Structure 1
Amino acid sequence: MNDTQKLPTRIKTIWRLSAVGSLVFGLILSALLTLPHLFWHWPLWLALVGVGLTIVWVIVELILVPYRYAFSGYRITDTAVEMSSGFLFKERIAIPIARIQNVTLEAGPLMQWQKLEQVVIATAATEHDIEGVEPEVAVQLRERIMRRAIEVQDEEF
């Protein structure tokens, strides 16, 4: 995709914090796996495997942040919203403008902290998102996509 727009670099902070959240969640689940050991004498290695898998998962997630950033982008054409990610496992999504029903902007606490917004593009069948764009860009994207979607729908009738 030639004129692909990159996400702001602050999205990497969100992804790293998400990995930390995965670590906390995984460690809590692993700690809960010690309860069957205490009450029913299940093997303790179940909890240890849980801790090990959690740590490996988080390390992989953190290592992949720069990779994920390098290959994530989007562009808006007259006919579609195109999103791309990945190098080894490429994913390219093209959402036809004519199928778009709604575009919303979302920002959870971490996104608000980093002053970013998520553009959620809804069709009748599914939703896709452009995660982590500047608020001004998000508003422009929403208006541009919806204006073009209305134009295309008017052309069809």
Structure 2
Amino acid sequence: MQTTQQLPVQIKRIWALSAVGSLCMGVLITVGLGVANWLWNWPFWLVWVALGLTIVEFIVELALVPYRYRFSEYVITDNAVEIQSGFIFRNRIAIPIARIQNVTLKAGPLMQWQHLEQVVIATAATTHDIEGVQTAVATRLRELIMARAMEVQDNDL
């Protein structure tokens, strides 16, 4: 797996649903501020500010889904797992195979619905993740990364 891999298209649906979840949370906060205004005479402009921020955040998050998808990719080499995201704010991470201690697969309800899993790569210092790949690919990635990590550890002994 030396070539750069794009995340599956289904991840865009997950990100869009995440934006809808943020919208719902923002609406709940806005309603809470409206109730606080009604019960305790809090300033009404707080409701308008919360509503405005909620709408702007939703639009921006939704608009960034294609951008986020276009620039999210990963590659597994003999020496490292490389994960890239972003173009304007580029984030490129190279995790040396020798430093990898564990690989975990995670999937919440939305990810399971789309048959995706998050690949979490743990080192002694931190964790990094490949946001979502198909279940069969995730299993292969976990096995491949752990096999290479074990090879490197065996060679070091």
Is TM-score (shorter-chain normalized) higher than 0.5? yes
**Runs of 4+ in structure 1 over 2 Å off:** none
Query: CA separation in 2, counterparts of 1:66 and 1:22?
Result: 18
Partner residue, 1:52? 52
Which amino acid in structure 2 is aligned with residue 148 of structure 1? R
Q: Name the SS for the 2:42 alignment partner.
A: coil
Query: CA separation in 2, counterparts of 1:56 and 1:123?
Result: 37
Query: CA separation in 1, counterparts of 2:37 and 2:107?
Result: 41
Partner residue, 1:103? 103
Shift of 1:35: 3.1
Q: Name the SS for the 1:120 alignment partner.
A: strand
Gaps of 5+ in 1: none
Partner residue, 1:28? 28
Query: CA separation in 2, counterparts of 1:125 and 1:54?
Result: 35
- Tell me if 1:127 matches 2:127: yes
User: Any residues of structure 2 matched to 1:135-154 within 5 Å, and which?
Assistant: 135-154=135-154
Shift of 1:100: 0.8
Q: Name the SS for the 2:95 alignment partner.
A: strand
Q: TM-score scaled to structure 2, two decimals?
A: 0.95
Q: Name the SS for the 2:82 alignment partner.
A: strand
Which amino acid in structure 1 is aligned with residue 9 of structure 2? T
Query: CA separation in 1, counterparts of 2:18 and 2:71?
Result: 18
Q: TM-score scaled to structure 1, two decimals?
A: 0.95
Which amino acid in structure 2 is aligned with residue 119 of structure 1? V
Which amino acid in structure 2 is aligned with residue 110 of structure 1? L
Which amino acid in structure 1 is aligned with residue 71 of structure 2? F
Which amino acid in structure 1 is aligned with residue 57 of structure 2? W
Partner residue, 1:78? 78
Gaps of 5+ in 2: none
Query: CA separation in 1, counterparts of 2:125 and 2:92?
Result: 17
- Percent same amino acid at aligned positions? 66
Partner residue, 2:112? 112
Partner residue, 1:88? 88
- The RMSD of aligned alpha carbons is 1.2
Query: CA separation in 2, counterparts of 1:140 and 1:60?
Result: 34
Query: CA separation in 2, counterparts of 1:74 and 1:111?
Result: 19
Query: CA separation in 2, counterparts of 1:103 and 1:13?
Result: 25
